[in-house]
Amino acid sequence: MFLRLLYQSFHRQQRRKLLAALAVTIGVAVATAMIAIAVDVGDKINRELRSYGANIVVYPEDAALDVRIGDQDIKPAAVGSYLKESDLPNIKGIFWGHNILTFAPFLETTALVDGRQVRVIGTYFDKRIRFGTEDFNTGVRRLYPWWKLDSGTWPDDDRNEVLIGSKLAEQLPRSWEQGNLLPFGRIAGVLSTGGPEDFSLVVPLHVAQKLANAPNAVGKVYLSALTKPEDAFARRDPDRMNAADRDRWYCSPYANSIAFQLREIFPHSNAEQIRQAAQNEGVLLSHISGTMLLIALASLIAAALAVSAAMATTVLERRHEVGLMKALGATRAAIASLFVAEASLLAMGAGVVGFILGSVIAQRIANNVFHSGIQIAPVLLPIVLLLALLVTIMGSAAAIRRALRLDPVLVLRGDA
């Protein structure tokens, strides 16, 4: 009898049930898409943000650090105080080495050319490095994609070639034009960065090392790393943690823990996050994830309201049926279980369809915004079905309570 009543309910009220199912499907689809993106968005947005430069810097421990947020410039290391270029490949060997997207070493010095003292910055442009059996390319062309050439070509890291800053080029005679030779290299192009490099000569690192008479020397290293937004645990001092907390901190991709691992491979060095960049990224990620979760919550609330309206109309239409059931001895629990069973079947069907639709929406958003796909975790399906069930039950709760309060005498007499 129970199953027959359940079947008749869906058969006779197809339109009402379809509207309720449609509301749940749309709500669950939006929630699925937002939750899936919010879970996966951290890494994708982090990768997008990493195209805007470095978030960690390594420098000799006795060097004076002076980070300028606008152009991220650091004072040159003191004479004789350098990192070793030969240690750079080991960056890929740290615990979170796969999170290091790219890096660029810098060595600053000066050179006297045509009676003029000129600032020289040595770096990697797009240098191929080997760590173990792995080859990878790194340098400023990957770290700072906004560095552009007004003319000319990028230097080869293994040749004696020079880029002249756009502002410096305006101040110098024609003997400094592109293609001309300087004492330490040919001018390959004119560089525009919007930073101090515009007033400098930018050269391959080995050229700057010769000018500074400092072989194997690096003044500082900028790194772009995928990191986890900073929280209270990230800011704790690892030296004051117990063994379990220290291992958890060390094995978490915080900027601080990655910096700690970098200090281990560069003797007598300091490494720290460029705090303004890291904090801004964390705030942005939190805001975006929060916004998506709010959209998901709003869609579920709207679905619950739609279900509530549909169920209220259903109970109104079926009040005589409920009254008759009560008159025949049906208990409140039996009547409630009938409506709950209807809502559960509705939720499961709409939840599955909503999950599939939401997965498609999430993939479209990811492809259009991040130009890459998104992985829908299988564990999301039971979560979505549970949300659909909660939304449907909550939306039906008021209507079910009203059905349980109906007086069979009044209903059957036509007074209710």
Q: Region 309-314: what's the mean pLDDT?
A: 73
Among residues 331, 339, 324, 351, which one has the least CA distance to residue 401?
339
CA distances (Å), origin 331, targets 90, 326, 341, 411, 414: 74, 7, 15, 16, 21
152 alpha-carbon distance from chain centroid: 36
Collapsing DSSP states into helix, strand and coil, what is residue 131? strand
Q: Region 246-258: what's the mean pLDDT?
A: 92
DSSP 37-78: HHHHHHHHHHHHHGGG--SEEEEETTSPP---TTT---PPPP
Q: Region 384-397: what's the mean pLDDT?
A: 84
Q: Region 391-404: what's the mean pLDDT?
A: 78
Model confidence over 201-219: pLDDT tens digits?
999 999 999 999 999 999 9
What angle do helix axes 332-370 and 275-317 make, rounded to 10 degrees?
140
Is a pLDDT exceeding 60 seen at residue 260?
yes
Q: Region 147-170: what's the mean pLDDT?
A: 92
Collapsing DSSP states into helix, strand and coil, what is residue 156? coil
Q: Region 358-373: what's the mean pLDDT?
A: 81
Q: Region 377-400: what's the mean pLDDT?
A: 83
Q: Residues 108, 208: contact at Cβ < 8 Å?
A: yes
Give dist(CA 90, CA 269) in Å, integer: 14
Residue 76 has a pLDDT of: 47
- Token match 């990811």: residue? 366
Residue with the bigger pLDDT between 294 and 8: it is: 294
Residue 304 has a pLDDT of: 83
Residue with the bigger pLDDT between 397 and 412: it is: 397
Model confidence over 12-58: pLDDT tens digits?
666 767 777 888 888 888 888 888 877 776 666 666 665 667 889 99
CA distances (Å), origin 165, targets 9, 24, 318, 354: 78, 60, 81, 56
pTM equals 0.64
Residue 11 has a pLDDT of: 53
Mean of all residue pLDDT scores within the chain? 81
Is a pLDDT exceeding 50 seen at residue 307?
yes
Model confidence over 264-303: pLDDT tens digits?
999 889 998 886 555 555 666 677 777 888 888 888 888 8
Residue with the bigger pLDDT between 262 and 69: it is: 262
Is a pLDDT exceeding 80 seen at residue 163?
yes
Residue 36 has a pLDDT of: 83
What angle do helix axes 275-317 and 14-49 make, rounded to 10 degrees?
180
Is a pLDDT exceeding 90 seen at residue 346?
no
Is a pLDDT exceeding 50 seen at residue 79?
no
User: Would you place residue 415 in the very low, low, confident or very high pLDDT band (cuts 50, 70, 90)?
Assistant: low
